[in-house]
């Protein structure tokens, strides 16, 4: 079965998704499972493996370490397409991307591989942030690989704002990790999932494309806290953490420990310094064009989150 003029064969093409238990894949998969018959979901932890097997019983689930240099060949065996998400702030992240691209090139020469979709970040040119610089290197390597590729460049995600704690606290306090006066652009995971599915289903139409993805913004955290305060009927007090507190908090959330490799610590420190001064800004025009509608606004996303939280507590 194909979609329009696309060569996608939903019955036979094998689609690989890495970091398949993460937020990006979680928003993507509901848009795919009814069409794609062959899915290979790649994850890292035993808990993620069990959860994916339970949630997607018809999919093949592989648990592995993307940092192992030989694993990409196993992951891409007989694959037609990959939606490649890398672990955030991972050690030697660029090398992970290079290895996966090399494996895809080998698979393409063997006649099975057709499309490499790379989940990158907005404005990879901002090389002062280490993880942007690493993604930029992977983008360059992918462009020169002679593979058919699409690059999706996501901005700051809306889900990172803790709506549930603000609802739960009698006198809510939001502790900002950087200067709350600095504006950011935001992306809704639902918009990303819809765009990702469109790219995978339409395939050739999106070859050699780079898509900067923004749903809403720019907004600073004073504006965001003001919107949330109005919706929940409680004034949110906004404070800023010290730089050291922000670094430690990021490391604990990402790795569950402060005892991590120096490269990952450097990457976290750099992004917080950069965000504190510059933020991350982009346009929503491309996202609107791809979706065929206005992207999700921050206010719409927040109202959906509040409604879902209240429903879960009924």
pLDDT digits (tens, 9 = 90+) for 295-311: 999 999 999 999 999 88
Determine contact, residues 130/270, Cβ cutoff 8 Å: yes
Strands 38-43 and 60-63: parallel
Q: What number is the average pLDDT over the span 115-122?
A: 97
- pLDDT at position 256 is 87
DSSP 1-62: ---TT----TTTPEEEESSTTSHHHHHHGGGTTTT-SEEEEEESSHHHHHHHHHH-TTSEEE
User: Which residue has better confidence, 308 or 147?
Assistant: 147
Q: What number is the average pLDDT over the span 128-150?
A: 96
DSSP 55-93: H-TTSEEEE--TTSTTHHHHHTTT-SEEEE---TT-TTH
Question: Does position 141 have pLDDT exceeding 50, yes or no?
Answer: yes
Confidence of residue 58 (pLDDT cuts 50, 70, 90): very high
Question: Does position 259 have pLDDT exceeding 80, yes or no?
Answer: yes
Model confidence, pTM: 0.94
Tokens of 272: 């917080």
Confidence of residue 90 (pLDDT cuts 50, 70, 90): confident
Confidence of residue 87 (pLDDT cuts 50, 70, 90): confident
CA angle 300–304–308, rounded 5-degree value: 170
β-sheet bridge partners, residue 176: 240
């Amino acid at each position: 079965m194909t979609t329009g003029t696309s060569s996608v064969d939903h019955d036979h093409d094998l689609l690989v998704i890495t970091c398949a238990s993460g937020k990006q894949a979680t928003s993507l998969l509901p848009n795919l499972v009814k069409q794609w018959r062959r899915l290979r979901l790649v994850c890292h932890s035993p808990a993620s493996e069990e959860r994916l097997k339970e949630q997607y019983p018809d999919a093949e689930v592989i648990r592995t370490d993307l940092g192992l240099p030989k694993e990409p060949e196993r992951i891409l065996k007989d694959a037609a397409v990959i939606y490649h998400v890398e672990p955030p702030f991972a050690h030697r992240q660029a090398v992970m991307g290079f290895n996966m691209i090399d494996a895809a090139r080998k698979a393409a020469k063997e006649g099975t591989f057709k499309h490499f979709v790379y989940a990158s970040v907005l404005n990879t040119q901002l090389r002062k942030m280490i993880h942007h610089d690493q993604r930029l290197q992977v983008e360059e390597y992918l462009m020169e690989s002679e593979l058919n590729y699409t690059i999706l460049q996501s901005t700051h995600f809306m889900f990172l704002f803790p709506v549930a704690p603000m609802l739960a606290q009698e006198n809510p306090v939001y502790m900002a990790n950087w200067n709350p006066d600095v504006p950011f652009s935001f992306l809704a995971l639902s918009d990303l999932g819809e765009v990702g599915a469109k790219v995978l289903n339409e395939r050739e139409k999106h070859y050699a494309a780079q898509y900067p993805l923004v749903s809403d913004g720019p907004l600073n955290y004073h504006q965001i806290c003001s919107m949330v305060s109005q919706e929940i009927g409680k004034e949110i007090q906004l404070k800023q953490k010290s730089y050291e507190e922000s670094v430690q908090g990021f490391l604990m959330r990402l790795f569950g420990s402060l005892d991590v490799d120096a490269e990952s610590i450097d990457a976290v420190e750099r992004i917080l310094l950069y965000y504190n001064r510059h933020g991350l800004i982009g346009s929503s025009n491309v996202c609107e064009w791809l979706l065929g509608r206005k992207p999700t606004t921050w206010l719409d996303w927040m109202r959906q989150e509040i409604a879902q939280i209240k429903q879960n507590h009924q």
